[in-house]
Amino acid sequence: MSVKVLYFASLRETLGYSHETLTLPESVSTIGALRGHLARRGGAWEALGEGRNVRAAINQEMVGPESALADRDEIAFFPPVTGG
């Protein structure tokens, strides 16, 4: 399955990417698994690893780590929000 992944704020700066399109192996079917998958790239990508304070959205709705991914989803990772 292929998904679009967006990065925001300090996470975008840390990674040096604002977005990418990814084809995922079958084993990566949840937000939590995708975080692990990306963190295994190493280096800056460890910012997505377990225990890091990262929030996620699927198709522009905030979701938890168990949420399932679907083909052509728009995924986003970002730090806790600080608006208002």
Which residues contact another protein (rule: CB under 8 A)?
6, 8-10, 53, 57, 60-62, 76, 78-84
Q: Give the ranges where the chain is alpha helix by DSSP (H).
A: 9-15, 31-39
CB of 72 to another protein, least distance (A): 15
Q: How far is CA 54 from its chain centroid?
A: 8
CB of 28 to another protein, least distance (A): 22
**What is the nearest approach in angstroms of another protein to the Cβ of residue 48?**
16
Q: How far apart are CA 73 and CA 56, in angstroms?
A: 12
Residue 16 sits at φ, ψ, to 5 deg, of: 75, 15
Nearer residue to another protein within complex by CB, 27 or 60: 60
